[in-house]
Amino acid sequence: MDFLTLIQVFDTTIRLATPLLLACLAGLFSERAGIFDIGLEGKMLASAFLTAAVAAVTGSVLVGLLAGIGGAMALAGIHGLASITFRGNQLISGVAINFLAAGLTVVVAQSWFGQGGRTPQLSGNARFGTIDLPFAAEIRDIPLLGPIYADLISGHSLLVYVGLLMVPLTWYVLFRTRFGLRLRAVGENPAAVDTAGISVVGLRYAAVAICGLLTGLAGAYLSTGLQAGFVKDMTAGRGYIALAALIFAKWRPWYALGACLLFGFLQALALRPDVIEGTLGFEVGVQLLDALPYILTVVILAGFVGRAIPPRAGGEPYVKER
């Protein structure tokens, strides 16, 4: 594998890791506050559809993005209602949200555009264009550093940089602010937070709303950054891979970046079987690469390679003592 191929594969890695990263951080906020969320997939899908649909109609991707975030947050609201207010089963609620999004997006897309459950192809301002960082063209010719800067770091869409910036931001919010401390406390010991006179319900709703916002960004990137339009089931299990990455990262932001880059790298390799064969000298099945994130997560979950311990109050509705 020569240097330029490596740059290409890493470039694809960054693009494929971005939706995983945004969704993973979304799950991080939710689960740190004690709300399990297996509905990441559905929220991404809803946002992917609404962003593409509204962008196609208005011609502006930013209006589309707002609609997408709105859609994801509406689903997050349902999840909050079910799991916080009505103290229902958070896992079942997540499953329902995934199906709701999978069904509604196709039904509505068919009704609006009549193209078999897809939106029209997007172009121009209806997509997120690529951003060239300053001096990218000038230093491209410098060996080694030039291509890394110009082709790998520069030239992605806005949401890629937003996703990368979200990592330090998430770390800061969770570990250096009062809100973050309370949010983590509510996922470990909600009774203590309640005793301190802070609203458990309010904090959990806030976490679920942030989760909706970030999955909204993730979905928008899928349909307007990575691809040009919505197609049926376009999330293709990414919500679950993000969930796997979250466990892999043991519910920590910087580890989440690492896990998402790793899983993104596996996805990028699956697109380039020729590279793997050229490097390793033998063929590796695409199916194995597809399954590897899940297998690695099961191994991590099994606790053979470092133990993954979820927030203690995760998945349990909080009932005030009476």
Partner 1 sequence: MQRMPQWADVILIPLISLILAAVLSALVILAIGENPWAALKLMVEGSLGSTYAWGYTLYYATNFIFTGLAVAVAIHARLFNIGGEGQAMLGGLGVALIALFIPWPHWTLALLGGAVGAALFGAAWAFIPAWLQAKRGSHVVITTIMFNFIAAALLNYLLIGALKPQGSMEPATGRFPEATHLPTFQDMFSTAETALFRGAPVNVSFFVALIACVAVWALIWRTRLGYEIRAYGQSEGAAKYAGISPVKIIVVTMLISGGLAGMMAINNVMGEAERLVLNAVEGAGFIGIAVALMGRSHPFGVLLAALLFGFLYQGGAELALWTSIPRELIVVIQALVILFTGALDNMVRMPLEGLFLRLRRAPKPDRKTSPAE
In the complex, what is the shortest distance from the CB of residue 316 to partner 1, in angstroms, rounded to a whole number? 13
CB-nearer residue toward partner 1: 44 or 61: 44
Cβ–Cβ < 8 Å for 20, 247: no
Q: Please give the single-letter amino acid code of residue 256.
A: A
Cα→Cα distances 308→44, 167, 227, Å: 25, 20, 34
In angstroms and rounded to an integer, the radius of gyration of the C-alpha atoms of the chain is: 20
Question: Given the structure tokens 């993000």, which residue do they identify?
Answer: 242
Residue 1 CB contacts under 8 Å (≥ 6 apart), including other chains: 9, 275, 278, 279
Buried b (16+ CB within 10 A) or exposed e, 271-310: ebeebbeeeeeeeeeeeebeebbeebbeebeeeeeeebeb
* 305 near partner 1, rule: CB under 8 A: no
What is the spatial distance between Cα 161 and Cα 320, in angstroms, rounded to a whole number?
Answer: 41
Residue 34 CB contacts under 8 Å (≥ 6 apart), including other chains: 186, 187, 188, 190, 204, 311, 313, 314, 315, 316, 318
Q: Which of 91, 158, 201, 228 binds partner 1 (CB under 8 A)?
A: 91
CB-nearer residue toward partner 1: 23 or 159: 23
Q: How many residues of this chain bind partner 1 (CB under 8 A)?
A: 49
In the complex, what is the shortest distance from the CB of residue 179 to partner 1, in angstroms, rounded to a whole number? 27
Binding segment toward partner 1, per CB under 8 A, in 61-69, 145-153, 235-243, 259-267: 235-243
Q: Which of 237, 272, 273, 275 binds partner 1 (CB under 8 A)?
A: 237
Q: Interface residues for partner 1 in 245-304 (CB under 8 A)?
A: 247, 285, 287-288, 290-291, 294-295, 297-298, 301-303
Cβ–Cβ < 8 Å for 215, 101: no
* 154 near partner 1, rule: CB under 8 A: no
In the complex, what is the shortest distance from the CB of residue 144 to partner 1, in angstroms, rounded to a whole number? 37
Q: Which of 87, 177, 192, 199 binds partner 1 (CB under 8 A)?
A: 87
CB-nearer residue toward partner 1: 176 or 307: 307
* 88 near partner 1, rule: CB under 8 A: yes
Binding segment toward partner 1, per CB under 8 A, in 81-89, 130-138, 179-187, 196-204: 81-89
271: left (phi over 0), alpha (psi -120 to 50) or beta: alpha
**Interaction site with partner 1 (CB under 8 A):** 38, 78, 81-83, 86-93, 95-100, 102-104, 106-108, 110-111, 114, 117, 232, 237, 240, 243-244, 247, 285, 287-288, 290-291, 294-295, 297-298, 301-303, 308, 310
